[in-house]
Amino acid sequence: MKAWVLSKPFDLRLTDLPVPEPGPRELLLKVLCCGICHTDLHEYKGEIPLPVLPVVPGHQIVAEVVRKGTEARRFRGGDLVGVPWLNHTCGTCAFCRTGRENLCDAARFTGLHVHGGFGEYAAVHEEAAHPLPSGYALHELAPLLCGGVIGYRAFRRAGLPPGGVLGLFGFGSSAHLLLQVAKGAGHRVFVFTRSAGHQAMARALGADWAGSAGEAPPESLDAGIVFAPKGALMIEGLKRIKKGGRMVSAGIRMDDLPAFPYRLLWEERSLTSVANSTRADVADLLSIAGAMRLKVETEIIPLGCLPEALQRMEDGRIQGSAVLMMP
């Protein structure tokens, strides 16, 4: 099979590899497409620790079950499944026992600790795979598995009151999906992005207001979520939220927060972050996507063009979500 292999930072090569053999509780998957995430860009640049090298990145996998291991009981041959970032947890630590498996110290992640979806086949533990909703094209399903899920977890942590006002800072793969989920839940959404194209896209998807981070929105926010890796946006958001409001960082990496006056935090405003997601988050978001037809903005990337797509992602020249398609 063909697969993109990362051997060290900036060393990503399309390589011939043997098709993997599934273990007893694993599924052999024929990868149909795989979303390209900013986390993949951080891995490529060595901006996050790389515990296993070489590795095949990619963690928004849409695939068909080809074969099952001898002890695998979930799914059947031909089933369409999705594989997200969270691949495995210990199941016994305090975090796992209290519904916070995303914080498990022994967690393993797809495309980081185990080979991911930037290749024609992948072998994954059956518990890492999820059934996918119908009514979507294959390339529309991939961004739901990370961009959609991380946005959804950040949305839950934002703690919005009914009919509250949510601010989204940055407008890419996650934000364009969360905008629709939040509107479907009855909230008003203000989008902060410097890109005129992204502002227009946000309005077309139902944003109640769109402007740059330096502009004052029509009213104060009940909560804000920062998708761009800019620590200063967390502080900018603090200036915009009401008493008791919360600013959530949805990124795996962010610039250091600049110093800010305590008066911005006073009156029970708070700053928090999202780390990874749980399997329940994935199942909930996929259920929402099945109940309401999300408009998923994608750009299809041929298998051989992954490095160019990563560069365009870094330059901010991808509209919506980039998806790597297999031949």
The CATH number of 148-273, from 3.40.50.720, 3.30.360.10, 3.20.20.140, 3.40.50.410, is 3.40.50.720
- Residue whose pair of structure tokens reads 């309401």 in the numeric block: 292
Q: Which of 21-25, 246-250, 314-318 has the lowest mean pLDDT?
A: 314-318
User: Does the pLDDT value for residue 253 go beyond 90?
Assistant: no
DSSP string covering 93-155, please? SHHHHTT-GGG-TT-EEBTTTB--SSBSEEEEEGGG-EE--SSS-HHHHGGGGTHHHHHHHHH
Comparing 61 with 173, which gets the higher pLDDT? 61
Rounded distance, CA 120 to CA 270, Å? 44
Residue 277 token pair: 């997601």
User: Does the pLDDT value for residue 50 go beyond 90?
Assistant: yes
Mean of the per-residue pLDDT values for the chain?
A: 96
What band does 42 get if pLDDT is binned at 50, 70 and 90? very high
What is the percent of the chain with per-residue pLDDT over 90, rounded to a whole number? 94
What band does 173 get if pLDDT is binned at 50, 70 and 90? confident
**Per residue in 175-203, pLDDT tens?**
999 999 999 999 999 999 999 999 999 99
Rounded distance, CA 4 to CA 306, Å? 8
- Residue 172: the pLDDT is 87
- Residue 320: the pLDDT is 80
User: Does the pLDDT value for residue 292 go beyond 90?
Assistant: yes
- Residue 251: the pLDDT is 87
* CA 283 to the chain's CA centroid: 14
**Per residue in 121-155, pLDDT tens?**
999 999 999 999 999 999 999 999 999 999 999 99
**Per residue in 278-290, pLDDT tens?**
999 999 999 999 9
Contact 62, 325 (CB under 8 A): no
**Per residue in 57-92, pLDDT tens?**
999 999 999 999 999 999 999 999 999 999 999 999
User: Does the pLDDT value for residue 319 go beyond 90?
Assistant: no
Cis check: omega of the bond before 218, within 30 degrees of 0:
no
Rounded distance, CA 3 to CA 284, Å? 31
User: Does the pLDDT value for residue 170 go beyond 90?
Assistant: yes
What is the percent of the chain with per-residue pLDDT over 70, rounded to a whole number? 100
Give residue limits of the domains in the chain.
2-136+296-325, 148-273
What band does 252 get if pLDDT is binned at 50, 70 and 90? confident
Phi, psi of 6 (to 5 degrees): -95, 115
Give the pLDDT mean for 234-248.
97
User: Does the pLDDT value for residue 317 go beyond 90?
Assistant: no
Contact 122, 31 (CB under 8 A): yes
Contact 206, 189 (CB under 8 A): yes
Give the pLDDT mean for 152-176.
96
Answer whether CATH 3.10.180.10 is correct for domain 2-136+296-325: no
